Amino acid sequence: MEAGAGGWDNVFPEGKEYPDNVAPLRRFESIAPGFLHTTGARLVAGRELTWTDVYGLRPMVLISENLAREFWGSAPAAIGKRLRQYPNMPWHEVVGVVQDVRQNGIQEKAPEIVYWPIQTRNYFVPNGGMFVTRAATFVIRSDRTGTANFLSQVRQAVWSVNASLPLASVRTMREIYDESLATTSFTLVMLGIAGAMALMLGLIGIYGVISYAVSQRRREIGIRAALGADPGALRGLFVRYGLTLAGAGAVIGLAAAAGLTRLMKSVLFGISPLDPVTYTVAPLILVAATVLASYVPARRAAAVDPVETLRSE
């Protein structure tokens, strides 16, 4: 499927006035029928363009869902409405609404887009001749994308029509996707490594603190054991101590994270900086890890021989 070179320009919905007749810039894309299906972009409302629309030079367009909500409140409400690019241009009917598509990487907000037919009437000339987009991108869906044999067949198919046409910037969607996420992925990997190291150091610290507490309270433990304290109760004593430390750290950490994650908003997408799932799962992982880190010194505390302890005292 084919798409023309994109750009930015004004667009005016019917019935809406702008100060000084200057509307905000919108993303423009010129597409051929089947382009949305090939790229996997979902049609939210209405229909896609047909070749009858294109060859008949019918004044019809598609728009993105966020632009439909801005102009008319919802995607279904936009169907049948009209817009145009400049005052001398005839009104173009909105026949379909497309899901929001991120153009500059998934970390960037999806722009408001108007999808024009790849072939339209030229309204800048008196007779209204035909205007065809010259620069075009062909999108091909295949199970063999990325292979040298498939690329060779595509070249031969193009050159069989016009041997002088070169193929430029041939890439798979996976390559485009990975390239758009390269910086973000590197940042998140580094943050993940730093977070894992911080968790490991925290667990080592908790283990060290509880082990030190055991050594300082050996006499107390011996007396408790001599008086018939249950070994499970002694283990629970130090596990609860570790959980107290972890709880205090979790509260402080969550408060700090709530402030710092707003600085990371540029590398987050699909979730809010205060995502409830993240803020629930992270403390649970910390608590579970703390229980494991507390168990060994707690077990050691429960195994203290009261006779040997009191004799050493």
Of 107, 127, 126, 131, nearest to 28 (Cα)? 131
Write down the pLDDT at residue 261: 72
CA 104 to mean position of chain CA atoms: 12
Q: Where are the domains of the chain?
A: 2-139, 181-312
Query: Which sign does the torsion angle of CA 183, 185, 186, 191 carry?
Result: positive
Whole-angstrom distance, CA of residue 275 vs CA of residue 209: 32
Query: Which sign does the torsion angle of CA 24, 28, 34, 40 carry?
Result: negative
Whole-angstrom distance, CA of residue 207 vs CA of residue 201: 10
Q: What is the pLDDT of residues 78-95, one digit of tens each?
A: 999 999 988 888 899 999
- The low-confidence residues of the chain, meaning pLDDT below 70, are 1-6, 107, 126-129, 132-135, 262-271, 304-313
Q: In the structure encoding, which two tokens stand for residue 131, read together?
A: 């205007």
Write down the pLDDT at residue 264: 67
Q: In the structure encoding, which two tokens stand for residue 197, read together?
A: 């190291």
Write down the pLDDT at residue 95: 95
The helix/strand/coil state of 42 is coil
Q: What is the pLDDT of residues 274-298, one digit of tens each?
A: 778 877 887 887 778 777 777 777 7
Write down the pLDDT at residue 270: 64
The overall pTM is greater than 0.85: no
Whole-angstrom distance, CA of residue 22 vs CA of residue 11: 9
